[in-house]
Structure 1
Amino acid sequence: MEPALIGLIIILALALAFDFINGFHDTANAIATSVATRVLTPAQAIAMASILNVVGALSGTAVAKTIATDIVPQDFATLELTGAALLSAILWNLFTWWKGLPSSSSHALIFSLVGAGVAAGGWGIIVPKGVRKTLIGLVTSPTLGFIVPIVLMALLSWLVLRWMKPRTVTRSFRWLQIGSAAFMAFSHGGNDAQKAMGIMTFALSAYLGTQVEVVPLWVILSAAIAMGLGTAMGGWRIIKTMGFKVVDLKPVDGFVAEASAAAVITAATQLGIPVSTTHTISSSIMGVGTTKGFRKVKWQVAGRIVQAWVFTIPVCIALGWAFHKLILLSGG
């Protein structure tokens, strides 16, 4: 077997490993609120999220094309560059999982790719349009994730909640929250699994020496399954942070947070914008919390989450650069 093919197989395996880790790292995005409100047991929530992550991952490739072509041009694609980006993103994901911090797997991969690209050819080969699109998603998704649930909760309070008894509200929104959790799981798979599809397509371009404009079906299916399996493994450390340590949630709160976040993520996916599902649902939970009063949100925990967001970009650029240099020093 030729060395280049062996290298490609290793890269594809790393991409699927990243996708798997992304799944269990981000399980909390889909199920933390429904577990915290006791609408679903952890086992029920994880099973539902796993299935709908796979379904969501099969829903399109717009985000995958952004990763594959709009961060580093495929003309500069090499297996060393791709491997460095994946090793960097996997290391950061595992570190933040160990610390129980809901950081962004999406931005870990993208900015690791930027760092490896800079190591390979300097800042000049980085595509400004793709990085700008990513940064727009980085800012707008948590902003909208924070604002939309406040507006939605105000509308619900005015139109529905003020006429209902508290017991009726809880009973009704227990069922509605199952639907919103399902929507959240679908949207998570739709945006996040496409990152692995994109980096696998980038690797194929490096191996073939030509641009690959259409994401192959086997890449789509393998990434979808890896994401689903990772989600099935769960990620209880981050579930506890998001579901129990940020704000005390009731079923109506969980419904509003999940529905708002899922709507924002789905819109971004249709536009081909790689956003952080973690950022979005975390912000939505905080937004819901503020409707109860600022003191109801545990801002110290929220601050730790924001720190993870801020550190992801420079750390992953540095890690991507360092891994690329190490791979070259070791002889590729």
Structure 2
Amino acid sequence: MDFTLLIIIIVLALVFDYINGFHDAANSIATIVATKVLTPFQAVLWAAVFNFAAYFISKFIIGEFKIGNTIAKSVEEHFITLDVILAGLIAAIIWNLLTWKLGIPSSSSHTLLGGFMGAALAHAGALSAIVDGKEVDVINYAKVIPTFMFIFLAPLLGLIIAYFITVAIMWICRKANPSKADRWFKRLQLVSSAMFSLGHGGNDAQKVMGIIGAAVICYKMDMADPVYVAADSADRFKLFVNDEFWWWVPLASFVVIALGTLSGGWKIVKTMGSKITKVTPLEGVAAETSGAVTLYLTEHFGVPVSTTHTITGSIIGVGITKRVSAVRWGVTINLLWAWILTIPVSAVIAGIFYYILKVFL
């Protein structure tokens, strides 16, 4: 039964990965479609290629999957069961599909994290519990608090970087021929959107990898696998990544998110590409470059941030350079509410599903 449940979790995790791809496709392509540099199909194909290419950067250049490790350890391992992970995944899929249907660019990262934590808290029945004579927190706050902080810091960082990049570009190109400069920035948008897609793939595919890793580690511990039992808890995710049997999981995570991106998420593209502020090719380059820089920085430190929040902040940053009123703040405030509600709502849904699953499993 445990192995069957593990397979179900892996399949659902990859389903979530696919949904994440088409839900977040707008992050990578909204500005490039809005500026008509590429058609929608060309844009999703472009983004999908670089989403997948991020695998090779994480695997062979960076040499590790820090964000996957952070997600796997966001809940203390004593409170991780296969039931917990399954309930968290179901909640994350439901919230992602709902926000996609409503055209709200919420964070796939945060719904996954919220679902995982909510199910674990339902399993423990409290914020902490006694384990081996010591009180242990259910949530690994050292891993989770930076993620919570970056709900606000990631868009703010994207906004600030985008603002200064836009101002710098406008100053450098102040004497340029407008039509010639516009043609150049349309070409540069191909580069900046590719950079952002690399960041998106490297960030978001690892989150699914982290959930699958947590499930495999849980299964191995339940089966009393001597290699995993003997290893320090901090090293078990590395064991999973380097396990010859599970070598395909990182690759599959990147392939599936790329396929999801190829499917597109047109309602969210419309929100991101035109409803927040009107974007020119110059501003598209600035927003995507800012988003990419923010994602690379946070990936370096192993902080799983929302690519949605990051690019939204960057788009607002380029809008502010024109005038504050150029940003449609009513739309932005609605997005902010969705961001704030994502983790707690996902946690509640996951908790409910955990109790339902306990009746049948």
Once residues 71 and 343 of structure 2 are traced to their aligned partners in structure 1, the CA distance between those partners, rounded to angstroms, is 16
- Secondary structure (helix, strand or coil) at the match of 2:276 reads coil
Q: Does 1:256 align with 2:286?
A: yes
Amino acid at match of 2:203: N
Deviation at 1:139, TM superposition (A): 2.2
Counterpart of 1:283 in structure 2 is 313
User: Which residue is equivalent to 1:196?
Assistant: 208
CA contact (8 A) 1:137 1:268 kept: no
Residues 37-46 or 191-200, more deviating: 37-46
Kindly state the Cα deviation for residue 317 of structure 1 after the two structures are TM-superposed: 1.5
1:86 aligns to what? 89
CA contact 1:196–1:223 (8 Å) conserved in 2: yes
- What is the aligned partner in structure 1 of residue 187 from structure 2? 175
Distance in 1, matches of 2:254 and 2:77, equals 23
Q: In 1, distance between residues paired with 2:247 and 2:203?
A: 17
1:316 alignment counterpart: 346
Q: Per-residue displacement from partner, 1:38-71 (whole Å, max 9, x unpaired)?
A: 11111111111111101114433100000112x1
1:152 corresponding residue in structure 2: 165
- The DSSP-based 3-state class of the residue aligned with 2:57 is coil
Q: What is aligned with 2:131? A: none
- SS at 1:94's partner residue? helix
Structure 1 residue 161, shift from structure 2 partner? 2.0
Tell me how far apart the structure 2 counterparts of residues 315 and 58 of structure 1 sit (CA, whole Å). Answer: 34
Deviation at 1:76, TM superposition (A): 2.7
Match of 2:71 among 40, 49, 67: 67
The answer as to whether partners of 1:72 and 1:127 remain within 8 angstroms in 2 is yes
- Which one of 248, 263, 268 corresponds to residue 238 of structure 1? 268
- Look up the equivalent residue of 2:155 and give its one-letter code: P
Aligned partner letter, 1:176: L
What amino acid is the match of 2:237?
A: E
Q: Which residue of 2 aligns with 1:34?
A: 32
Aligned partner of 1:328 in structure 2 is 358
Using the alignment, how far apart are the partners of 2:237 and 2:198 within structure 1? 25
Q: Distance in 1 between matches of 2:173 and 2:291?
A: 21
What amino acid is the match of 1:305? L
Letter in 2 for 1:292: K
- Give the 5 Å matches for 1:196-235: 196-209=208-221, 210=228, 212-214=236-238, 215=241, 216-235=246-265
Aligned pairs, number: 327
> What is residue 173 of structure 2 aligned with on the other side?
161
**Contact kept in structure 2, 1:247 and 1:298, CA below 8 Å:** yes
Cα displacement string for residues 246-273 of structure 1 (whole angstroms, at most 9, x for unaligned residues): 1111100100000001110111111110
What is the alpha-carbon root mean square deviation over aligned residues? 1.2
**What letter is aligned with 1:101?**
I
Tell me whether 95-104 or 261-270 shows the greater mean CA deviation.
261-270
* Change beyond 3 A, Cα 1:180–1:139: same
Further displaced range: 52-61 or 140-149 = 52-61
Paired position in structure 1 for 2:326: 296
- 2:174 alignment partner, SS class: helix
Instruction: State yes or no: 1:116 paired with 2:124.
Output: no
Kept in 2, the 8 Å contact 1:57–1:194? The answer is: no
Letter in 1 for 2:338: A
TM-score (norm 1): 0.96
- Superposed displacement of residue 112, structure 1: 1.1
Cα deviations across residues 128-157 of structure 1 (Å, max 9, x unaligned)? 101112113222111101111111111112
**Match among 153, 161, 164 for residue 140 of structure 1:** 153
2:277 alignment counterpart? 247
Return the alpha-carbon distance in structure 2 between the equivalents of residues 237 and 283 of structure 1: 19
Which of 105, 111, 123 is equivalent to 2:108?
105
Q: Residue type matched to 1:41 in 2?
A: T
Runs of 4+ off more than 6 Å? none
Could you say which structure has the larger radius of gyration? 2
Contact persistence 2:66–2:302 (CA under 8 A): yes
Tell me, in whole angstroms, the C-alpha distance in 1 between the residues paired with 2:90 and 2:289: 33
Query: Are the aligned partners of 1:58 and 1:190 in contact in 2 as well (CA < 8 Å)?
Result: no
User: Could you tell me how far 1:296 is from its partner in structure 2?
Assistant: 1.3
Percent pairwise identity: 41
- Cα deviation, residue 213, structure 1: 2.1
Conserved 8 A contact 1:74-1:205: no
* Partner in structure 2 of residue 49 of structure 1: 47
Q: TM-score, normalised by structure 2?
A: 0.88
Determine if contact 2:151/2:339 at 8 Å carries over to the other structure: no
- Provide the C-alpha distance between the structure 2 equivalents of 1:240 and 1:228, rounded to a whole number of angstroms: 20
